[in-house]
Structure 1
Amino acid sequence: MSPAEADALLFGDSLACEVLRPAALLPRPRDPDPALAASGEALLRALAVLEDGARPEEPEGDDHALARVEAKLDLLTVLVAGLVRQEDADPVRRLAWSARGARLELPEAPAEATGLFRVRPADWLPSTLVLPASEIARDTRADGVRCWLRFDPMPPALEAALERHLFRIHRRAVAESRRQKQET
């Protein structure tokens, strides 16, 4: 597949964000972790509760306050587990991503066509989101390689949580752009 075709497939008619984020493409283990999707969904849902705050359609009350406390406890658990694991920090890379896949700039081409795409979804949170992915296109450049990765089919709840997370990133970028235009 050509890079243009890969761009159309991954980003054509879906919300996509271009950001600088700590990210990596890791080798896929022989025995995939069945809890990978559930942990990714839990991370994105907890981020949504904390970053979105109260929504106008949801009354601010005991249920919402309890959901926020539960989300904070979930993230605290993830943080403690991350400290125990002592994961190496991924380098910050230029990244475009949607709920379908990602375009990632790497210093060298990956050895395998399938792998695990790992990204830190929030600047303030050291936890990472890990999604199985397959390389569908590659563009070799003087300073490295650009890889187009299509995410493996994911449970609908994880896909919805990822779309919501990307929408929040997009919304913040639009607001920042508007604020910069007003300042000039």
Structure 2
Amino acid sequence: MSELRPSDIHHPAESELFDETLSCDVALPAEFRLGSSVIRPGSAETLLRSVALVEDSRGDDGHDDRGESSTQLQRLEAKLDLTMVLLGRLVRQSAQDLDLRPLRWSRRGIRLELGARTGAPAGSLGVIRLQPCDWLPDHIDLPVTVLAEAATGAGSCFLWLRFAPMSDGLEMALERHLFRLHRRQVADSRRRGL
């Protein structure tokens, strides 16, 4: 895939989706499907809220005031993490995996990097399916409209997708998830000294 930084990409769709809003650059299992299909928006909201509950309860701040129960809780969380990894492997064996793709994500939409053009004209309806976190082998489906498609210059292409209007609950859950991803991205870059 390409080595371009987000600041190197100049396209009107890039500005439309990412200017003056929180966005993050991640690699996640994802795919785009052309055409409209029946989507359960409540399931995406439920999954994102559940992920938030689990991740927020893990105490990312590095200190804990729970005393002796802290060690037991950490062991229980570690066992649960291992169980989720094993369950994820079983699910992946029986289900079709989504390919890991570089993407840029904001509350307005997604820029997905693909190996080949989809041929989808601007204005086409579709669905973006993605796995929002690496520890849970489940995905969300979000309805989108194709804004543009363009070659990257490195043998792949970018596909810009604008989210269809969402319920307030789903929009809040999505923004909260993006904030956590962005915070993690900033922390990782600080650790690497970037």
Q: TM-score range by the shorter chain?
A: 0.7 to 0.9
Moved more, 130-139 or 38-47: 130-139
Secondary structure at 1:18 match in 2:
strand
Measure how far apart 1:90 and its partner are: 1.1
Moved more, 134-143 or 97-106: 134-143
Separation in structure 2 between the aligned mates of residue 87 and residue 153 of structure 1, nearest angstrom: 29
Structure 1: segments with no counterpart, 5+ residues = 61-71
Moved more, 133-142 or 120-129: 133-142
Structure 2: segments with no counterpart, 5+ residues = 1-9, 60-65, 67-79
Aligned residues with identical type, % of pairs: 40
Measure how far apart 1:170 and its partner are: 0.6
Which structure 1 residue ranges, 4+ long, deviate > 6 Å from structure 2?
none
Give the AA of the match of 1:41: E
Partner in structure 2 of residue 33 of structure 1: 38
Give the AA of the match of 2:44: G
Secondary structure at 2:45 match in 1:
helix
Q: 1:117 aligns with which of 128, 136, 146?
A: 128
Matched, 1:173 2:192: no
Aligned CA-pair RMSD? 2.8
Measure how far apart 1:21 and its partner are: 1.0
1:1-184 equivalence runs, <5 A: 4-29=11-36, 32-33=37-38, 36-53=40-57, 83=91, 86-112=94-120, 113-140=124-151, 141-181=153-193
Contact 1:28–1:132 (CA under 8 A) maintained in structure 2 = no
Return closer, same or farther for 1:172/1:142 CA change in 2, 3 Å cut-off: closer
Measure how far apart 1:53 and its partner are: 1.2
Separation in structure 1 between the aligned mates of residue 136 and residue 58 of structure 2, nearest angstrom: 20
Q: CA-to-partner distance for each residue in 1:93-126, whole Å, 9 max, x for gaps?
A: 1100111100011122224432110111001111
Secondary structure at 1:25 match in 2:
strand
TM-score (norm 1): 0.75
Secondary structure at 2:11 match in 1:
helix
